[in-house]
Amino acid sequence: QKEVEQNSGPLSVPEGAIASLNCTYSDRVSQSFFWYRQYSGKSPELIMSIYSNGDKEDGRFTAQLNKASQYVSLLIRDSQPSDSATYLCAVNKAGRRALTFGSGTRLQVQP
C-alpha cells in the first residue's frame, strides 16, 4: 500500500463546475497535509495546508481533512481552464519535516 494515494485521473470538469480531488494516507501519525499544484514543466506550488479535522477555505479552494478516515480532499469552486494542472497531495509525519507525496491527480477544466 502506498503511503499517500491519489487517483491519477485525468479528472475532467466543465468550466464553472466544482472539481473534487481526493487523497488517502496510510500512516495515522501524519500531522500536516498539503495540496500543491504543478503545471507541466514547472515546480510544485503550494495551494493549501490543513492540520485539523474539518474544512479550511481560501478563496475558491477548500481543503477537507478527516483523520479518522485518513482522508484529505481539495475542492475547487468555479473551476477555470487555468486550474488545469496536476494536483499533488503531500503528508508530513510527526517528527519528520520532509514530505511524502502522492502520485498526483491531473485536472482538466474544459472551457
How far is it, in rounded angstroms, from Cα 9 to Cα 103?
10
Burial of 52: CB neighbours in 10 Å, binned 0-12, 13-18, 19+: exposed
Question: Smallest distance, Å, CB 37 to another protein?
Answer: 11
Question: Smallest distance, Å, CB 111 to another protein?
Answer: 25
Give the number of C-alpha atoms closer than 13 A to the C-alpha of residue 12, restricted to the C-beta side.
3
In terms of CB distance, is 42 or 77 closer to another protein? 42
- State which of residues 49, 70, 75, 108 lies at the interface with another protein (CB under 8 A): 49
Positions 58 through 87 that interact with another protein (CB under 8 A): none
Amino acid at 7: N
32 binds another protein (CB under 8 A): yes
Question: Smallest distance, Å, CB 61 to another protein?
Answer: 15
φ, ψ (nearest 5 deg) of residue 2: -70, 150
Give the number of C-alpha atoms closer than 13 A to the C-alpha of residue 14, restricted to the C-beta side.
0
Q: Which parts of this chain interact with another protein (CB under 8 A)?
A: 32, 34, 36, 42-46, 49, 51, 88, 90, 92, 97-104
